[in-house]
A and B are shown apart, each in its own frame.
Chain A
Amino acid sequence: GNSVTQMEGPVTLSEEAFLTINCTYTATGYPSLFWYVQYPGEGLQLLLKATKADDKGSNKGFEATYRKETTSFHLEKGSVQVSDSAVYFCALSATTDSWGKLQFGAGTQVVVTP
């Protein structure tokens, strides 16, 4: 079946450090890939997405590239801020499922210290 694996947290960084959160997936066909962010006390928000191989999603300084050859969608940000502290979820929507049904990774908590 479909699955998403992302690195365990918490990841603790200093402000302005480089952030990478690894995400790999297993799916048949060509899934769409997403990164969601959950700030404390809030619902999940879409951070970025990519719908086909080699697509790069980007938003708020975050980037992720859909790599079909390595079945990966790693999230990166060059210089994090304290406000980036949150839980980040990698997710996929399989082509065999109806749009909107998401398979999530376990989530990675990121803590950015001043």
Chain B
Amino acid sequence: GAVVSQHPSWVICKSGTSVKIECRSLDFQATTMFWYRQFPKQSLMLMATSNEGSKATYEQGVEKDKFLINHASLTLSTLTVTSAHPEDSSFYICSAKTSGYTGELFFGEGSRLTVL
């Protein structure tokens, strides 16, 4: 089946630094990808919808200047957490949609960010 890969799977950084997380669709083209955030023992919360070649659409309450999303190609979307702080520590998960209005969704393995 289709595979979506996230990198890195875990990262530790110092407060104030920026961290980039990649989401790649390995064997299909994804015009749309989604970024979620998951707190411990809580559900996945949608952060933004990433569309290839255009600006991301952010959910209410998500700071677009804090969480920069770039979808520069049909197989890659990146999430950059800028000036990270300990409260940004979380599990970040992406999903990618195959083509078509009701395309299938495939999820990455997730990336755990710890900000010291």
Q: Which residue numbers of A lie inside 8 Å of B, CB to CB?
A: 4, 36, 41-46, 89, 98-107
Is B34 on the interface with A (CB-CB < 8 A)?
yes
Count chain B CB atoms within 10 A of each CB in A36, A42, A44, A102 and give the residue with the most.
A44
Would you call B43 and A104 a contact (CB within 8 A)? yes
Tell me the minimal C-beta distance from B97 to chain A in angstroms.
4
CA distance in complex: A4, B101 (Å): 23
Instruction: Say which residue of A45, A89, A99, A100 sits within 8 Å of B44 (CB atoms).
Output: A89
**Are B93 and A43 interface neighbours, CB within 8 A?**
yes
Number of B residues contacting the other chain (C-beta, 8 Å)? 25
- Give Cα A91 to B9, complex, Å: 24
Choose one: A36, A89, A100; the contact of B34 (CB below 8 Å): A100
**B109 is contacted by which of A41, A100, A107 (Cβ under 8 Å)?**
A41
| B42 engages A106 (CB within 8 Å) | yes
With A100-B97, A101-B34, A101-B49 known as contacts, the answer to whether A46 contacts B42 (CB < 8 A) is no
- CB of B102 closer than 8 Å to a CB of A: yes
Complex interface: chain A residues within 8 A of B93 (CB):
43-44
Taking a contact as CB atoms closer than 8 A, the residue among B32, B103, B110 that contacts A43 in the complex is: B110
Extra contacts besides A99-B101, A100-B49, A101-B49 (18): CB < 8 Å: A4-B43, A41-B109, A43-B4, A43-B6, A43-B106, A43-B110, A44-B95, A46-B104, A46-B105, A89-B43, A99-B103, A100-B32, A100-B105, A101-B46, A102-B46, A102-B105, A104-B43, A107-B41
